[in-house]
A and B are shown apart, each in its own frame.
Chain A
Amino acid sequence: MALTVLLICVGVFLGSGVWAVLGNRSSSTSFWVYSFSLAGSTLALCVAVVALIDTEAPTATLQLPIGLPWLGAHFRLDALSALFIVVVNLGSLTASLYGLGYGRHEQTPGRVLPFYPTFLAGMNLVVLADDAFTFLLAWEFMSLASWALVMAHHRIGANLKAGYIYLLMASFGTLTLLLAFGLLAGADGGYDFAAMRAATPSAGLAAAVLAMALIGAGSKAGLVPLHVWLPLAHPAAPSHVSALMSGVMTKVAVYGFVRIVFDLLGPPDWWWGGAVLVLGGVSAVMGVLYALMQHDLKRLLAYHTVENIGIIFIGLGLALCFQANEMQLAAALALTAALFHVFNHSVFKSLLFFGAGAVLGATGERDMERLGGLIHRMPLTAIAFLVGSIAISALPPFNGFVSEWLTFQAILLSPKLPQWLLKLLVPAVGAMLALSAALAAGCFVKAFGASFLGRARSEAAQNAEETDAASLTAMFLLVLVCLLAGILPGYFMDALAPVTRQLLGAQLPLQQQMQWLTIVPIATGRSSYNGLLLFAMIAVAGFLAVYVIHRWASHAVRRSAIWDCGFPDDSPAAQYSAGSFAQPIRRVYGAVVFRAREEVDMPAPGDCRPAKFHVHIRDLIWDALYAPLESVVGFVADWLSKVQFWTIRAYLTLVFSTLVGLLVVLSIWH
């Protein structure tokens, strides 16, 4: 029943996509497309939440006579897919709501409206698919629809490059996933997931599938070093689509990885977890360091997605390590942490992209060096963006902290692992996680401070106007979720219990039974956290302090000019910029990671030329991995282009010799 309703929702998305193409180009099309998307995702969200919470609900399957004639299209709704349906549709609900307001300013709605609901349909179908063909078809659907959305503003040169790289990486990712499913299906070609689950691949085959899944899903999710398309493509799309791509589509990629590795592939080897841990740790630290070097608000957010995907994969890697050693409870804790972070990241990343979109809409600027002082002009957006910033920096009382806290608790269980390599690896990964959390806080002080605080650095920022009501509603809906998941995490963790039970056969103790809504992942004497109590205590202490001081002491306020130690400068250029804020961190970390060089050109006294300051930053991953690949492909393409100018005789000879060659190979083979 629930599955049917979800497929009907997908039908609604597809239908409104078609309608956007056929329908007239009047301004009401935008309204109706977003309204239908909103209705569809609200319905899907409700159905999925019920399916996830209701532990009695059986796994629903459905087979439709479409797709490959001998296979059909299989769909399935179990706890794992219900969770990701919730994540997808919470994101698309708020994005559609946001789009109702934001989409009105779209200059080329014809390039956005048909693809937006199609994109939503693709993401939902990936999660519901229960055979490899449907899964890959939906995956490509999702990739191509989002590619079209990235190319919506195709007249900007940078977007063309972004779209090109995205298309390449997406095709490459799908190719490796295709190979992974091919290996899983085996020689008999059992392409439905039930057959794959039943089969037990050999150790070598399983390792190959793991590698393919890591590359395929990892390139879509943004694992370093496959992340290069992400900071180019995510910011290029309209902001609500950026939110969906960064907040939700990367989670669909995580779903793909979890489905293949935890569900289809069978029991893991211990070193799988180690490999995933290393990739996760490196992504977490590199992602946040890249973000710190950025001045473009949306690109900074996209790099933070790389960081958070790293944190999620750290949790998944830990879960694999524990599962391989049959420590099911610890594995359940690590998996709960990872999945909770999946949910949390989708919430606050969408929120932050909405805020960035509101800033972009109000000022036309993404460059933080040209923003500033927006807290006065856009007070509500500022509050929403601030909550998102605190949440993503993993600070209490918001939700980002809870999932990172759970990850730390999982790390603290790892000395019981018997393998020496893991014993050495896990504390190092823990240090990387701590480092990335601390750097993220620095990065968001920079992002919020440079955009919203201080004085306006450009005319556009000076005259910005608060964004529309629909966008604000979407943002504050997410603010509420951030706060609720932060102060009442027990309910959210309990909702994840069916998923860990399905994948690992174990679950954490039910958190609702704990006293005072405290969360206790393992045992009371070991560790506990109560966000609600902390929040209440801080609120009470804060209000008491305000009351006492204003009751018995002065409450006089005098407004005056900036003091700045007696040397104020009226020019907004004199204040600290985003680049100067990041300078100490760049000096500490950037010299190694980015080969950052600072070049100061200071004219001699008497010389009237302006002084100049340049920072050179190199992207070593691009230089080491992608640039050589690019030059090889370029060389081969140049060489092959000669083929285009052959004569007809030469072509015929080529065709004939190929045919003969293939026949020879075939005859030797048999």
Chain B
Amino acid sequence: MSSVRLLVGTKKGSFLLTADGKRERWTVDGPHFAGWEIYHMKGSPADPNRIYASQSSGWFGQVIQRSSDGGKSWEAVGNQFPYEGVPGTHQWYDGTPHPWEFKRVWHLEPALNDPETVYAGIEDAALFKSVDGGQTWKELDGLRRHGSGSQWQPGAGGMGLHTILLDPVHPERIFIAISAAGVFRSDDAGKTWRPTNQGLKSRYIPDPKAEVGYCVHRIALHPSRPETLFMQLHWNVMRSDDAGENWQHVSGNLPSDFGFPIDVHAHEPNTVYVVPIKSDSEHYPPEGKLRVYRSRVGGNEWEPLTNGLPQENCFVNVLRDAMAVDSLDSCGIYFGTSGGQVYASADGGDHWNAIVRDLPPVLSVEVQTLA
């Protein structure tokens, strides 16, 4: 029988939550790496026993862990992320030049067909690749050096490369997103890159056609239709139907224009999920009601999903990497909160339950659908 395994990264360790295909009874395993921030964990699509984890600490820096047995045991691998050449500078918050400095790994994206190949998105923003299971890392520096790198600025949370999407239809195509630079696309497996931000708007960028400078929070695609991208931007939900060449607003009737995660239903390429959040500084759900919003038509028309979610006095946040979908017949949706809850829906969002309620603040949620 099928089963699912949630990989939950928190501010104080990681947790593995497992259930059979009914997704009613859950086993909680953890904390692993207790006391460390686990920004992200992700399993290899080619070998679900291979899992990578980004473990970091303000005291002890960055560690990368990998498991070859589905999270039962772990092995620390390479933690050196050297920028290629002389890194130069990007812009600091005040617009002055600031040296590029490695801080942490935000996101790990295993390759679609090789468990030994994995990409890492880091702060200060750069993309790294390992072809030896994380033992050694090499920067794909065509991204940082493509021309606009010296203009990139950090968002409030730092200048992180937080999203890496590998196109299953065009194997040479990679999308990445950086706060607060924007979306970039490579069509040659990461050698060369260009910004793909036309149509995005930011209130404080005077040039409406600015190439970079956009606080993209997250992008998502459906593997059967990778030309269509969905984006949670700092302000607005956006959609592109030409692989990022042009973007249009699809926020429609959402109760706020802000949020972090966005994801696509496993079997319905036009069904999209977001969690609206009130901003610019509060960062909790509007009216204290935790609502996932679902559009079945690719945006603009959104319905609130509330059954099983707290509808009063709820003031948690849901971070950009903290939502995932499984690929069981009845698609499961999962998200974690800054309050330590992990919510699950086994029916595409119609009904929700908290798997756990009292974890440390959740930084990331990924799910593996296991045979």
Say whether A associates with B: no
